[in-house]
Amino acid sequence: MKTTTPGKALITGASSGIGAIYADRLARRGHDLILVARNEQRLSEVAQRIRETTGRNVSIVAADLGKHADLARVEAILRADKDIDTLVNNAGFGAVAPLLEADIERMEQMIGLNVTALTRLVYAAAPGFVERGRGNIINIASVVAISPELLNGVYGATKAYVLALSHSLQHELSGKGVRVQAVLPGATATEFWDIAGSAHENLPAEWVMRADDMVDAALVGFDQGEVVTIPPLQDGGEWTAYEAARQAMSGHLTLATPAARYLQPAGTRA
């Protein structure tokens, strides 16, 4: 018989911002926690606060997910600990610099964290979830996944990857007891913006959501069974139409014959 008791949730980037709020909310939902980030002091403070307010077990793992050895330690935990039923892939950073003004070394680090680490953690967690017929993968993407012109293009591309991977995971794993959700926040009031190069206070206040409002909305989307949740999008029908158009076009994307508009006019062929 399947148990419905929440298992442990492993949350990356839980030392601040969105990840720290997920930690609080998932603990309140009955999950014990494993919190991952680089800053051990801040992780300890988040963990202690949650233990005191919820009584849950909270452990911390200080790890730089941009470093292979540290990432491997977290992967090993996901493989070994069969009580983990939820992975929140949240650690990430962005940039506001236009493409050619951005430092390529920094862009590579961004791909390393936002794409490579997230992918390796999915690969570490998902087989166990499938084996146990139970698990949740929440991937924090961004609205720039579908609107890459808004911020640095490499950042948008990393988040488009997260969205595409989530669609594929949903396609392959939803029949095996695994829930997949991609969350696409808009501008959210966290340190993300300072790290990206411009404080969120520089944005119009009406664009910027509080981190706890964002996470609470994302969890409502999760409870409603959404695969993609965009908290700031007021008219959900816009996403439904966009996704329906994508799905409809998916049926027309491979054929032996080039489309008529690409056929060279008769008499001009080589």
- Contact present, 27 and 54 (Cβ < 8 Å): yes
- Which of 14, 102 has the CB closer to ligand NAP? 14
- Contact present, 20 and 63 (Cβ < 8 Å): no
Contact track, ligand NAP, 120-159, x by CB under 6 A? --------------------x-x-----------------
SS3 assignment, position 251: coil
* Contact call for residue 19 and ligand NAP (CB under 6 A): yes
d(CA 234, CA 221): 13
Binding segment for ligand NAP among 38-46, 98-106, 129-137, 262-270 (CB under 6 A)? 38-46
**239 φ, ψ to 5°?**
-65, -45
- Which of 170, 190 has the CB closer to ligand NAP? 190
Torsion of CA 142, 148, 151, 153, to 10 degrees: 110
Smallest gap from residue 203 Cβ to ligand NAP (A): 9
Nearest to residue 113, comparing CAs of 56, 67, 44?
A: 67
Residues in contact with ligand NAP, counted by CB under 6 A, come to a total of: 30
Token readout for 194 is 């300072």
Task: Indicate which single residue of 29, 38, 51, 167 sits in contact with ligand NAP (rule: CB under 6 A).
Answer: 38
Binding segment for ligand NAP among 100-108, 173-181, 185-193, 223-231 (CB under 6 A)? 185-193
* Contact call for residue 192 and ligand NAP (CB under 6 A): yes
- Which of 12, 136 has the CB closer to ligand NAP? 12
* Contact call for residue 32 and ligand NAP (CB under 6 A): no
Catalytic annotation, residues: 155
**267 φ, ψ to 5°?**
90, -10
- Contact present, 226 and 181 (Cβ < 8 Å): yes
The size of the chain, in residues, is 270
- Which of 80, 195 has the CB closer to ligand NAP? 195
Smallest gap from residue 101 Cβ to ligand NAP (A): 19
* Contact call for residue 185 and ligand NAP (CB under 6 A): yes
Token readout for 59 is 């452990």
Q: How does DSSP classify residue 155? A: H
Task: Look up tokens 């640095």; give the residue.
Answer: 152
Which residues contribute to the site for ligand NAP (CB under 6 A)?
A: 12-19, 37-39, 42, 64-66, 90-94, 113, 140, 142, 185, 187-188, 190-192, 195
